[in-house]
Structure formats: C-alpha cells, structure tokens
Amino acid sequence: MPTNKTPSLTIFSFLLGVLWFDYFPGLEAATGKLGSVPGVYVFGDSLVDAGNNNYLAFSVSKANYPHNGVDFPGKKPTGRFSNGKNAADAIAEKFGLPLPPPYLSLRGLFREKRRKSAAVTGVNFASGGAGIFNSSDQKLGQAIPLSHQVNHWLSIHRELTNQLGPAETQIHLSKSLFTVVIGSNDLFDYFGSFKLRRRNNPQQYTQSMADKLKEQLKRIHDTGAHRFLIVGVAQIGCTPGKREKNSAIHECDEEANTWCSLYNEALVKMLQQLKQELQSSMTYSYFDNFKSLRDIISNPARYGFADVTSACCGNGKLNADTPCLPITRYCSDRTKYLFWDRYGHPTEAAARTFIDLMLSDDSQYSSPLTLAQLVSS
C-alpha cells in the first residue's frame, strides 16, 4: 500500500466470494454454472497477497500476526491483510480449486511436489506494498513489484511446461484465469512524493501507470495467457485512514479519489487498445471497483453492512489511528464492517460482496464481460 506505508491497499480493488450469492440482501445472485477454469494465477498487492511478504527478510509490510486471520481456518494469521480469506482465495474456491499458495512458499528442495501441483491449479504472486512501478520501497526489499512477480510467473510457466509439455500447457493456460489487482500503491507514492508530482502532472503519471501495466500484461499474454480479470482502483480517499485525517467530519479525500478516477480511465482505454492489438488471443473483464465501492458506501444496508467508514481493527477515531496490531481491539461482528483496517483492506464479508458483484448478471460494474461471461467464453 502506501508508502507511509504498510500494506498495499486502498480499499479493495477487489473482493472475495465463495458460494454465498445470497449473502447480502437486495442483490440478485449470479445464476447458472460457471465456466471451467483449471488454474488461477494472481498478481497484485496486499488486497490479494496470500503471504509472499512473510518470506521477505527486511519487509515490514507483513500481516503474519494477530488480529489478522482471526476468521481464517484455524484462526491463524497467514500473511493475508484480512480477518479471513482474501479475494484471490475466494475466486479459486468459486471454481473448485485449491487456494493459490504464495509463490515464495514453493521454493526449496523439499517443496518440489507442492510446487508441481500448484503450478497446475494456480499460484499467488501478489505482494503487500507492491506497485506497477519499481518504487524505492520495493528496491529496499519491502515488496515484490509487478515486473518481478511476472518474472516469478515465468519460472512457474517453465515448471508447467516441463510437466505437461508445450501443447498441453498452451491449452491449460488458454482456459485459466489471470487476475491482476494493483495500482493503489503507485497512487499513494504519487500523493507522498513532491519529486514525482513535480516531474508529472496527475494525467501524465496515471497514463504512465497504464502504459507500464500494459507491458507486463503483454509479457504474461506472450506465455499463453488468454483470460484476464483486471480490477480497477477503488476510492482510496474513502479508507478509514484517509477519512480520519480529513477534518472533524471525516469525509472522503476527494482529491485522492479524483486521481483514482484518472487512472481508471487510462486503464480502461489501455485495455481496449491491448484487446485491439491482440484480437482473439485475449479476452478480459474489467471490474469497476471505484463505482462498486461508491454504491456500497451510499447504500450500506442493501449489502448487509452497518459501518462503512470505520476500521474493524485498530484504535482511536474511526479505529484508524493505528494499524491492526495484537495490542489493538477488533470488532465483534466482522460481517457488518466494510473495512478491516485503517488502510482500507476489506473484511472477508466485504470481499465476498465484491466477488458476487463480479459474478452477477448485472454488468454495470464489469466490461466488456462479467467474470462469469469471461470464464464461459
């Protein structure tokens, strides 16, 4: 997340979901059988990190301590920035796949069997604090930037090819889902850097983010990936931490939200251009996380939430004065909170809500395809 920084986040560019299509009131459930997905491969930041940062010796962007994981099976912190499972986990479960393990957990001589299995069903390359760019934070070993995550994917691709052979690997990858949830930390870097703001205006910076992301998507595509789920940046100005700093009435930071909108606009145009370049060898679903979050905040009861401004875990005003730590308190009913911590990571309940929106027949948040349509294409 940010560089003030800890996790990567901002609200969630995303979201979980297992089988609870009727989990929240007032929204019709997705219907019909989901298409077949043999593998789920995940790239991104702390919104989908499954514990890669646990293996970074010098990183402080970790969530391997309580109260993180209080609702995860076994009630243990795993490195996920959540009270339970995150979006990447839920996506895999929707398709009947194992949770994609963190890539760095698969390294080593005695993990070869697990690595071979995960190479087929899916691997999580995401890293809390990661960005599209290789920021100074990542150069200091705090996170794994997107370009390095793609390097790690190339290693798994070689593993997969050795197992299945080139022809079968291409068939497998053409049906698999490649999920990308990233961009918030690059915007936080821009907010906090006078040097970056002096060098680029917001339009230039957000366009350069989209251009850089395009390079990495093409690298993934060139290995045989066809289906992409791309999640836009949410309203990071509405995280509990941003609200807490924004006057006595704790409104959203609309300047920060404006920059998010600029990036999402550049992202949508870039994806359209990339699709034109790659034609039928690429299909994608873009999820408008900005709009979906705005609608949830505007009408929380419809989605089953009682608090859409405070963090569930923390201390002080809006529970946002401190990060979620073992010494802080956490809410008793996590299903009623939108945000888990001050950085805007979603609770498991919130993540499930977003996944249901992705899979819903209502396409107001997804284009040109919903996730259900993407995996059936």
pLDDT digit string, tens, across residues 92-148 = 999 999 999 999 999 988 899 999 999 999 999 999 999 999 876 666 689 999 999
Residues 6 or more apart whose CB falls under 8 angstroms from that of 167 comprise: none
Mean pLDDT of 274-287: 97
User: Rounded CA gap, 148 and 152, in Å?
Assistant: 6
CB distance 274 to 218 below 8 Å: yes
C-alpha distances out from residue 79 to 53, 70, 367, Å: 7, 12, 31
Residues 6 or more apart whose CB falls under 8 angstroms from that of 219 comprise: 150, 154
Question: What SS3 state is found at 228?
Answer: strand
Question: Hey, what are 69's tokens?
Answer: 């994981």
Q: Cα angle at 89 between 285 and 123, to 5 degrees?
A: 80
Question: Hey, what are 7's tokens?
Answer: 């996790």
Confidence category of residue 191, pLDDT binned at 50, 70, 90: confident
Count of CB atoms situated within 10 Å of the CB of 260? 26
Q: Which residue matches tokens 């491969």?
A: 41
Per annotation, catalytic residue among 345, 356, 360, 366 = 345
Report pLDDT digits (tens) over 32-45. Answer: 457 789 999 999 99
Count of CB atoms situated within 10 Å of the CB of 246? 17
Q: Is the pLDDT of residue 263 over 50?
A: yes
User: Rounded CA gap, 48 and 15, in Å?
Assistant: 8
Q: State the pLDDT at residue 187.
A: 95
Per annotation, catalytic residue among 8, 13, 46, 184 = 46
Per annotation, catalytic residue among 341, 356, 360, 366 = 341
Q: Does the annotation mark 46 as catalytic?
A: yes
Question: Hey, what are 269's tokens?
Answer: 């145009």
State the pTM of this model: 0.90
Q: State the pLDDT at residue 2.
A: 42
More confident residue, 15 or 78: 78
DSSP string computed for 159-223 = HHHHHH-HHHHHHHHHHSEEEEE--HHHHHHHHH-HHHHHH--HHHHHHHHHHHHHHHHHHHHTT
Mean pLDDT of 4-15: 41
Report pLDDT digits (tens) over 39-78. Answer: 999 999 999 999 999 999 989 999 999 999 999 999 999 9
Q: State the pLDDT at residue 1.
A: 41
Q: Does the annotation mark 8 as catalytic?
A: no
Question: What SS3 state is found at 62?
Answer: coil
- State phi, psi for 23 to the nearest 5 degrees: -65, -35
CB distance 225 to 205 below 8 Å: no
